[in-house]
Chains A and B, each alone.
Chain A
Amino acid sequence: MSTIQFDGVGKRYGNGAYAVRDLSFTIEDGEFMVVVGPSGCGKSTALRMTAGLEPITEGELRIGGKVVNGLSARDRDVAMVFQNYALYPHMTVAENIAFPLASRGASKDEIARRVAAAAQTLGLTEYLDRRPKALSGGQRQRVAMGRALVRDPQIFLMDEPLSNLDAKLRNQMRAEIIGLQKQQGVTTLYVTHDQTEAMTMGHRIAILRGGLLQQVGTPRELYEQPTNLFVAAFVGSPAMNLFRAEFRLTETGPELLTDGAVLRLDPGAPLPAALRAESGHRIVVGIRPEHLSFAPPGTPGLAAEMRMIEELPPEKLVHMTIGADTPMTGGGQPVDADFLTDLGMVAAAHRAPLIARLGIDTAVPDGPGVALHLDPRRLHFFRASDGAALR
């Protein structure tokens, strides 16, 4: 049983600043958990605390049910792949892979056998006598993987192992890592800042921001039911469309009021209970790009201005703006403004950008002015004050 349990784990520096705060979640035996977040969110610190390279100042960390706070890295039985691989430059590939075994006093025969097996698995057999500098990026990455899996550790830790590879090789290695993890069945904690990597690799994903855990869930849960504005905006590419509107429950049905425009929602549409309590307040509305469509002629819709069309077969991205504030420019109570900086979102008062993802053959109406149809069942609602999802 190689579970990893974070129980209120925190890292506080001498000056009182937190790198990670009150981290609590469990990684099940054999699970591939990806920790993702913008730079400086504490994901690498969390990984290093798991490895034993960074002291834990608060809470308890358990590996296989055993508290490991006081254990040094060498006694935790974990294997780690570093961002720059950290291959020993003066050793050959074989010596690099053998190092963890030799450090634990394995016999020469056993070392030779296991190094050969690991090299076989990773297609490194013909490179065993080479030094790391004579290898390509992808091969180095494989050697780092070999060093990690050669001694059957309890858990794998990976710190952005694909970030130094070019796009094509990254896709290839991504598939290889997923395959290896599945084959070995070792509990894995994988850290990345790339949400595409997180979505494609992880059984579950933990999203961190500012040292705080935002949400843990399967990729689909995060995509479809984000618990807050940050998760909603972070997961998905292009990001979820977000704009501010005033929510009103009127006799004719629910309405969203943007700058000068009223969008009437279907009276029969199922709305979250928490949203009804927000009637008369400004909220943040979100909709995924693939759920935006153009209103058929003659039907009411949200007025939008066309900006440009990006063709990316088999789909196209239609960029528009609507007369509404972004979560950042709404005035009044600012939504925790930092996260927009974290996400690199642009602020322009009273003009919220929207992107629609359409099939490449979908007809787009002429003219700069178009009307958008928003399916109320596909809308996400967030409280403006703290960004929490209204459910």
Chain B
Amino acid sequence: MNRPSALNTFGRELGALALALLWCVPFYYLAIVSLKPMSEIFADPVGFPDQLAFANYAEAWRGTMGVSLGQAMLNSLIVTIGSVVAVIALGSASAYVIARNGRRMGTLLFFFFVIGIILPHQLSVVPLYSVMRQIGLVGNQLGLIVLYSGLMTPMSVFLYSGFVRTLPADYEEAAEVDGASRGRIFLKVIFPLLAPVTGTVAVMVGMVVWNDFFIQLIFLSGSPAQTLPVAVYGFVGEFSARWNLVFAAVFVSVVPILAFYLLAQKQLIKGFTGGIK
């Protein structure tokens, strides 16, 4: 009886492996192009390069507009981590107040934030740019952190408040009777219980900010604070694009995300699937 089930498993795993290979095709293409000399890119786009041009990486690393790829990566990290921390802090605290407030006030505040999710932020780019330039928040990381905090907090409030509503009030009441202040109750009791949704918010915000191009191009291009997407775009000129350098830069920019995922794989999956136990 074991033989068919083992065969079955083998077949299933083979299928899964084939599917996984399909996902690897873009990475193969990315790696191949990043190692080709400029002349070979259009002549044989998918074939293996005759000569491995590792110099592409060195050149891509030097970056554009005086900002090295390493510096751009650091800028991206600062903006991403700053935004994630700010959104988690603002979102969780606001959602706690909304979820635990009186029904009318709580609903009103909740809808205020939901409107923030619905409105397309592209509409407000021009006035935002003008205001942010006046207060010195264009061309630096802080400006982007402020901007992303504003853009992403509504979604995090939406996620957090749904979760806070499912938390029994007993924990807070027990902490209150135990003599804890409101702030301590939030920090020591409520916030740790929100860990699953905090994981979701962190990944969601992190992905959006790390990958976003539009806002970063508008608010950072040409400045020393430019981030990875803007730096990569620097290789695309008005008349020609150096695709091998673009691909090399993209390959480098994928590394931190991949490393983070490999390190935090267990926690991330737990965060997405877990609840309070």
Binding site for B on A (CB under 8 A): 51-53, 72-74, 76, 78-80, 82, 84, 86, 88-90, 99-100, 103-104, 133, 147, 151, 157
Contacts and interface: CB of A to CB of B under 8 A. Distances in A.
A361 to B, nearest CB: 50
B177 A79 contact: yes
Given A53-B173, A80-B174, A82-B170, A74 B179 contact: yes
B184 interface: yes
A82 B173 contact: yes
Given A86-B170, A90-B195, A147 B178 contact: yes
Contact of B179 (A84, A86, A104, A157): A104
Contacts of B175: 88, 99, 103
Contacts of A157: 177
A88 to B, nearest CB: 6
Interface string B175-214: 1111111001000110011010000000000000000000
Contacts of A100: 178-179
A18 to B, nearest CB: 21
B217 to A, nearest CB: 41
B190 to A, nearest CB: 10
A74 B176 contact: yes
A51 B170 CA distance: 13
Interface in B256-277: 276-277
Q: Which of B171, B174, B175, B192 has the most chain A CB atoms inside 10 A of its CB?
A: B174
A375 to B, nearest CB: 49
13 contacts: A53-B173, A76-B177, A79-B177, A80-B174, A80-B177, A82-B170, A82-B174, A86-B170, A89-B276, A90-B195, A99-B175, A100-B179, A103-B180
Contacts of B171: 86, 88
Interface of B: 168, 170-171, 173-181, 184, 188-189, 192-193, 195, 276-277
Contacts of A78: 177
B276 A53 contact: no
Contacts of A133: 277
A100 B181 CA distance: 11
Contacts of A89: 193, 276-277
A157 B177 CA distance: 10
A75 B33 CA distance: 68
Contacts, number: 64
A88 B179 contact: no
B276 to A, nearest CB: 6
Contacts of A147: 174, 178
A99 B176 CA distance: 11
Given A72-B176, A82-B170, A103-B181, 13 more contacts: A74-B177, A74-B180, A79-B178, A84-B170, A86-B170, A88-B171, A88-B174, A88-B175, A88-B189, A89-B276, A99-B175, A133-B277, A147-B174
Given A80-B174, A103-B175, A74 B195 contact: no
B178 A103 contact: yes
A51 to B, nearest CB: 6
Nearest to B178: A100
A53 B177 contact: yes
A135 to B, nearest CB: 13
Contacts of B179: 74, 100, 103-104, 151
Given A89-B193, A90-B192, A53 B176 contact: yes
B184 to A, nearest CB: 6
Q: When A and B form their complex, which 8 residue pairs have the shortest distance between CB atoms, in order from nearest?
A: A86-B170, A100-B178, A86-B174, A103-B180, A103-B179, A90-B192, A73-B176, A74-B179
B177 A52 contact: yes
A82 to B, nearest CB: 5
Contacts of B188: 88, 99
A56 to B, nearest CB: 16
A90 B180 contact: no
A365 B275 CA distance: 63
Contact of B177 (A73, A84, A88): A73
Scoring A74, A78, A157 by chain B CB atoms within 10 A of each residue's CB, the highest score goes to A74
A147 B180 CA distance: 13
B244 to A, nearest CB: 50
A121 B177 CA distance: 22
Contacts of B193: 89-90
Contacts of A90: 192-193, 195
Nearest to B276: A89
B183 to A, nearest CB: 11
Contacts of A84: 168, 170
A133 B274 CA distance: 15
Contacts of A151: 179
Instruction: Tell me which of B179, B180, B189, B192 has the highest count of chain A C-beta atoms within 10 A of its own C-beta.
Output: B179
